[in-house]
Amino acid sequence: MPLTRIRGRPMSELSDTELLDLFRKEESRHYAFNLLVNQYQRRLYSFIRRMITDHDEAQDVLQNTFIKAWHGLDRFRADSKLYSWLYRIAHNECLNHLRSMKRGLFTNDEAVWGRLSTTLDSSEHFSGDIIQQKLQRALMRLPNKQRAVFTMKYFEELKYEEISTITGTSVGALKSSYHIAVKKIEAWVTTDQTKTDPSTS
Amino acid sequence: MNSANEHDELKDAPMLRSIPKVDPFVVPDGFFDRFPHQVQARIAQRTSLVERIGTWLRSFSWPVQLAGIATIALLIAGPLYFVLRPASITEGNGVATIDVAPNELDPYTLDETDLYTAIDDAPALMAAVGDGFTPDEMAAYLEHEELPLDLLIEEL
């Protein structure tokens, strides 16, 4: 179905309600979902990649996020924004993935940290300069949930209220968590302790 | 986001503030063009498998269907029980204990976000500590002193 415009507007500018209406019709279900993936894949990938660092693993997590969205979209109620809901799935998938890394081959935090760090040593995967590398290493030393909060607030520039909807954590707790994360990262980036593993801090 | 608020939150982090917000990760060429098709392919694969199982099951009479479903449930639940049960449970004198080696203890089992949530949700704890502390200050204190929350509650 080669639709490019709906009600005179490009498909890329569809509202959540219009996208959901299209999804609920059998004949445009796959098409609507394709639009949704196109609309949100970059933002979600960026968040997941900062959490997981490795491209292949980020791709798996992103795929699982959209597969879960496909199965749950019929039950989605428009009382929250679609992207908050998708972020919520991505956030949970990231935490599950990181937990499974620790349960699997990488049995402790240092091993997981080492595995995540290797991506940053390869120019094939990472194009940032020294300071970006230091920042990313510092980010990886944060506990998983705090890293998610910092990433959503600092890089994705989401509001605390939105992060609260996504993570199910109170705004007050998020502010504290972010504040502490900023202090830690500032200290680590300034003193260049980011090349040692987290157990030594 | 309000830039004044952001500036305020990063006022004690001049180094972090000076770092440009760029995406330093390399994404393979054409990844975002291919990705929607990969997702659709996975959806089609799963849908087709579920449909095939459904059609196959419907070809049997209902007692056979029921027996089949029960067998599949047992095949899944059995191994799951052995995988998910606690690592080592010793029962003696009516008391069950779980053996955990010290190096298996996860320092981030209760991470900071959980801690702040616990403080936020614990008015009794806050009342015991006194009116002088806000949850933020309390969280900062715990962070600074590296005090486990359960020990603190015990002390209070």
For A43-47, A157-161, A192-196, which range has the lowest pLDDT when averaged over its residues? A192-196
Helix (H, G, I), strand (E, B) or coil at B95: strand
Is A124 within 8 Å of B35 when comparing Cβ atoms? no
Domains, chain A: 11-200 (1.10.1740.10)
- Using the predicted structure, report yes or no on whether residue B107 has a pLDDT greater than 50: no
ipTM: 0.80
Selection from A77, A78, A80, A82 nearest residue A66 by Cα: A82
pTM: 0.67
Say whether residue B8 is in contact with chain A using an 8 A CB cutoff.
no
Identify the band that residue A2 occupies on the pLDDT scale cut at 50, 70 and 90.
very low
Residue pLDDT, tens place only, B30-50: 999 999 999 999 998 876 666
Interatomic CA distance for residues A50 and A154, integer angstroms: 12
> Measured between CB atoms, does A72 come within 8 Å of chain B?
no
Q: Out of A41, A70, A175, name the one closest to residue B32 (CB).
A: A41
pLDDT tens-digit series, residues B121-148: 555 555 555 555 566 666 655 554 455 5
How much is the pLDDT for A177?
94
| Residue A164 near residue A104, CB atoms below 8 Å | no
Chain A interface disruption, residue of B48, B112, B142, most A CBs within 10 A: B112
Q: Residue B6: its pLDDT value, please?
A: 61
CA dihedral B122, B123, B127, B133 (to 10 degrees): 80
Window 104-133 of B: residues touching A by CB (8 A cutoff) are 106-108, 111-114, 116-117, 119-121
